[in-house]
Amino acid sequence: MKVRASIADMLAVLAMTTNIEPKKLRRAEATNIGAILGLFIFILIGIVLLPVIVSQVNNLTSGTAPAVTGTNATLLQLVPLFYILVLIIVPAVVAYKIYKD
């Protein structure tokens, strides 16, 4: 005698024997595709603009006649670093909020 059971039947038996109620997904519990797509676009645009920002900072702070010198040049050279930090931290926070919900 062959017994065939579906996965749903096995899960129902498991739920009955362990007294665990099966959890049903509601509409609000679905993955937020819009937020994930927004993160992807944010990271993509950020990576594309990074070389432009780095080259502009280098043009302004180096060369034979730099446009920005002294302390201002030092601060301006930190702009790409903070730009990269924003590219890392913002998606991490948004991804954490998506995961938490």
Token reading at 61: 């702070």
Cα(2)–Cα(12) distance, integer angstroms: 20
In a domain, 44, yes or no: yes
Domain membership of residue 67 (yes or no) is yes
**SS3 state at 4:** coil
Q: Is residue 70 part of a domain?
A: yes
Split into its structural domains, the chain has a count of: 1
Inside any domain, residue 1:
no
Closest Cα partner for 91 from 41, 50, 21?
Answer: 41
Rounded to two decimals, what is the model's pTM? Answer: 0.66
Residues of the domain holding 61: 30-100
**Is residue 25 assigned to a domain?**
no
58-88: pLDDT as tens digits: 999 998 899 999 999 999 999 999 999 999 9
- pLDDT, tens only, 17-33: 666 665 665 655 566 78
